[in-house]
Amino acid sequence: MLLEIAKERKCSAARIALAWLLARPGVTSVIIGGRTKEQFEDNLGAAELELSAGEMKRLEEVSRPPLLYPYWHQAWTAGDRLGATDLALIGQYPKA
């Protein structure tokens, strides 16, 4: 998915990955680096790259870790009774 979006945007996968990280809630900085000046400059370009909502969704779907126990169990057995706190974590996962 990362390479597909990079190809569509005509930029590097590294720039897309860094832009995605910067757009994540709670992320205030990322570590960049490159072996060459060109790679370093490409990484810096991520700060000005704004991904669309659709691109963010596509990247989120492929990078989301599996829901761990007991959360998958709560979603499966009590999904209709979860509070706002539970839904903050579990709500981002598709229904089983």
pLDDT at 96 over 70: no
Same domain, 71 and 47: no
Q: How many domains is the chain built from?
A: 2
C-alpha 77/C-alpha 72 separation (Å) is 9
What tens digit of pLDDT does each residue of 44-90 get?
999 999 999 999 999 998 998 888 898 889 888 988 888 888 888 78
What tens digit of pLDDT does each residue of 29-49 get?
899 988 999 999 999 999 999
Same domain, 9 and 49: yes
Spell 30-64 as b/e; 16+ CB within 10 A means b. Answer: eeeeeeeeeeeebbeebeeeebeeebbebbeeeee
Q: Which domain holds residue 26?
A: 2-63
